Amino acid sequence: MQGNILIIGASGQIGIELTMALRTKHGVDRVIPSDIRKPDLELFNEGPFEILNVLDKARLEEVIAEHNITEVYQLAALLSATSEKNPAFAWDLNMNGLFHILDIAKEKKNLKVFWPSSIAAFGPNTPADNTPQYTIMEPSSVYGISKLAGERWCEYYFQKFGVDVRSIRYPGLIGYRSEPGGGTTDYAVDIFYHALDNGKYTSFLSENTMLPMMMMEDAIKATIGIMEAPSESVKIRSSYNLAGVSFTPKELAEEIKKHIPSFEIDYAPDFRQSLADSWPNSIDDSSARQDWGWNHEYDMSKLVSTMITEIRKKKAVSIETSN
Ligand code: AKB
């Protein structure tokens, strides 16, 4: 019997989009989104949904058995900014969520696992430009420490127990279907809503803070791409570097101004500035390109024009439905 796909943390920024993409590919019934609570979104009424806390290992085992799960995307985590505010819970969720899945996969043998790492696994001593796959990694944030530790555990479970775990180091993700929550790169989504709502945005990162970013369509393509790659092509079992575009808040604002000439930005850096300052400016993702054929589609101009067009459409629909 064909196995099914479990998405843990499905109501988050990546989870919503991944649920949609995997359902389109495999059909609604084969994809089981889950989260600690069911969000009030039509998407989750259209097919199966499980209430699931990844920290409850017994319930996780039950859901995996009940739905004949053979592929898991473990996306439940606290992001960088939220982790700084609640380090103990961030460590608990980010690490034990991963352990539960790895331990179940170790026992079950036929469970393929996706677990996201992040550019936050790098740190202030990492070479910031074109950051190599293998380099100094001394993360200085709670979130980054959990991501680096998680990467090491993924590789360990692959080598010691043959767990088929696959991972990528996501850059900041930008999409219009779902909203980010608790990250340092979230400014690059918020800015579009402010630009379209009132033509102004105050960035919590300074104007010249360059960070690696990626359009959500590319991130979903990479996520499904690495999971579909033949096992022997996935040569790195810690986590792959992944790159799309890199830009600063100032450069993003300039690109937005091409569509909204009156747009204004100012800068009021907060505690998230030091997180951003410890992360790379740009990433060398040649291993992912060579090993499993990764390539990105969205450059900055396509990213910005897509965000503006799609958010405008969303706003037009919500005005129509409220009339
Ligand atoms: C965050 O800002 O915390 C995330 C990330 C870079 O992993 N977007």
- Is 211 touching ligand 1 by the criterion CB < 6 Å? no
Look over the chain and give the mean of its residue pLDDT values, rounded to a whole number: 97
State residue 201's pLDDT score: 98
Query: For residue 11, how far is its CA from the centre of ligand 1 (angstroms)?
Result: 16
Please give the Cα distance from 261 to 210 (Å, whole number): 23
| Residue 233 CB partners (closer than 8 Å, separation 6+) | 291, 292, 293
Residue 120 CB less than 6 A away from ligand 1: yes
CA 120 to centroid of ligand 1, rounded, Å: 7
* DSSP single-letter state for residue 109: S
The verdict on the CB of residue 34 being under 6 Å from ligand 1 is no
113 lines ligand 1 (CB under 6 A): no
205 pLDDT band, cuts 50/70/90, is very high
Angle, CA 200 vertex, CA 170 and CA 212 arms, to 5°: 15
Encode pLDDT of 267-294 as tens digits: 999 999 999 999 999 999 999 999 999 9
Q: How far is the CA of 118 from the centre of ligand 1 (A)?
A: 7
> What is the distance between the alpha carbons of residues 66 and 282, in angstroms, rounded to a whole number?
43
Residue located nearest, by CA, to atom 8 of ligand 1: 172
Ligand 1 and 157: CB distance under 6 A: no
In this predicted structure, what is the pLDDT of residue 1?
74
**CA nearest ligand 1 atom 4, residue:** 183
Which domains, and CATH codes, for the chain? 4-172+213-241 (3.40.50.720), 174-212+244-280+299-322 (3.90.25)
**Which ligand 1 atom lies nearest to the CA of residue 80?**
3
Contact 11, 76 (CB under 8 A): no
Above pLDDT 90, what percent of the chain?
Answer: 95
Catalytic residues: 143
Per-residue pLDDT band for 322 (boundaries 50, 70, 90) equals: confident
Atom of ligand 1 nearest to the CA of 119: 6
Structure tokens at 46: 């259209």
